[in-house]
């Protein structure tokens, strides 16, 4: 519980500046989100979509430009972040906001698409595996799961290299030093898992077509589909 309180407090504190900073803090922002958005695909005009760790609704906003009539549910620990999301998504009629810890939520509905961006890495590894099972259970047959997240390097050396490159990039981003320091502090609570482990956990859960569809250093986009009639 203390870990979740720490995560909530840190993101509450940056809610109003979060969107402005995110492009600077993710050096591969356009490709990273662009791939995630392209994979969040459904043949339906009004797909049911669940966004886990939705924050300020940045990814949800992109999704709603693609599917303006989607029935979208955003879940996040931080009501301060969701307050920003409510303002951003005000023009869309079918949006629900839930302030909760999604790792322990029960979801009565089923969804055509489940998305998450830069959130699941805050969970412990057993909690990640448990969440993947929850996602699988709430997906409709042929539904897809898209997780744009951080990964740990395969070795301590590669992980250190990821961090070195990230620090160099944000140091040259033009962000104020105070914002850079705050971001470095937030990353201390990250629990990144390796690429291979996350692919394996998704497959063990039952997902098909599992793959890493994009990767730039420690930023990766995972994809899996729930098979028909499972």
Least confident of 12-16, 67-71, 143-147, 169-173: 12-16
Q: Summarize the confidence of residues 185-199 as an average pLDDT.
A: 94
**What is the predicted pLDDT for the residue at 2?**
47
| Collapsed DSSP state (helix, strand, coil) of residue 113 | strand
With 0-12 / 13-18 / 19 or more C-beta atoms within 10 angstroms meaning exposed / middle / buried, residue 161 is: middle
| Collapsed DSSP state (helix, strand, coil) of residue 192 | coil
Strands 208-216 and 219-225: antiparallel
Apex CA 17: angle with CA 63 and CA 105, to 5°?
A: 55
What share of the chain has pLDDT > 90, as a percent?
77
Higher pLDDT: 102 or 6? It is 102
Q: What is the pLDDT of residues 32-41, one digit of tens each?
A: 999 999 999 9
**What is the predicted pLDDT for the residue at 229?**
73
Task: Give the end-to-end CA distance of the chain in Å, rounded to a whole number.
Answer: 34
- Smallest CA-to-CA distance from 67 within 87, 92, 84, 90 is with 92
- Smallest CA-to-CA distance from 15 within 87, 82, 101, 110 is with 82
- If pLDDT is split at 50, 70 and 90, which confidence band does 18 have? low
Answer for the pair 161, 92: CB distance below 8 angstroms, yes or no. Answer: no
**What is the predicted pLDDT for the residue at 230?**
52
pTM of the predicted model as reported, rounded to 2 decimal places:
0.91
CA–CA separation, 121 and 150 (whole Å):
6
> Domains in the chain, ordered, with CATH?
2-225 (3.40.50.150)
Given a cut of 60, is residue 201 above it in pLDDT?
Answer: yes
Whole-number average pLDDT of the chain: 90
CA 113 to chain centre: 13
**What is the predicted pLDDT for the residue at 29?**
93
CA–CA separation, 115 and 47 (whole Å):
12
Q: What is the pLDDT of residues 146-161, one digit of tens each?
A: 999 999 999 999 999 9
Given a cut of 90, is residue 194 above it in pLDDT?
Answer: yes
In 110-142, which positions are buried (b, 16+ CB within 10 angstroms) versus exposed (e)?
A: ebbbbbbbbbbbbbeeebbbbbbebbbebbbee
Strands 139-150 and 219-225: antiparallel
Given a cut of 50, is residue 102 above it in pLDDT?
Answer: yes
Q: Summarize the confidence of residues 115-142 as an average pLDDT.
A: 97
Helical segments of 14-138, H only: 18-25, 29-39, 58-66, 79-88, 125-138
Long-range CB contacts (within 8 A, 24+) of 92-99: 92/64, 92/68, 94/46, 94/69, 94/70, 95/60, 95/64, 96/72, 97/73, 98/73, 98/74, 99/75
- If pLDDT is split at 50, 70 and 90, which confidence band does 9 have? very low
């Amino acid at each position: 519980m203390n870990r979740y309180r720490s995560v909530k407090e840190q993101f509450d504190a940056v809610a109003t500046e979060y969107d402005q900073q995110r492009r600077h803090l993710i050096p591969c922002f356009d490709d990273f989100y662009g791939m995630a958005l392209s994979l969040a695909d459904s043949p339906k005009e009004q797909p049911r979509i669940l966004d886990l760790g939705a924050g300020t609704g940045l990814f949800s906003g992109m999704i709603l430009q693609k599917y303006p009539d989607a029935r979208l549910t955003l879940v996040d620990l931080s009501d301060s972040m969701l307050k920003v999301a409510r303002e951003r998504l005000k023009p869309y009629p079918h949006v629900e906001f839930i302030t909760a810890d999604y790792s322990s939520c029960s979801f009565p509905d089923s969804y055509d698409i489940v998305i998450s961006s830069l959130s699941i890495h805050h969970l412990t590894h057993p909690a990640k595996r448990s969440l993947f099972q929850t996602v699988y259970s709430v997906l409709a047959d042929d539904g897809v799961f898209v997780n744009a997240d951080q990964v740990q390097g395969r070795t301590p050396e590669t992980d250190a290299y990821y961090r070195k490159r990230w620090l160099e990039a944000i140091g040259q981003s033009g962000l104020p030093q105070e914002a850079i320091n705050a971001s470095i502090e937030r990353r201390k609570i990250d629990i990144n898992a390796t690429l291979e482990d996350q692919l394996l956990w998704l497959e063990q859960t039952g997902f098909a077509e599992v793959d890493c569809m994009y990767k730039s250093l420690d930023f990766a986009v995972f994809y899996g589909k729930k098979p028909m009639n499972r």
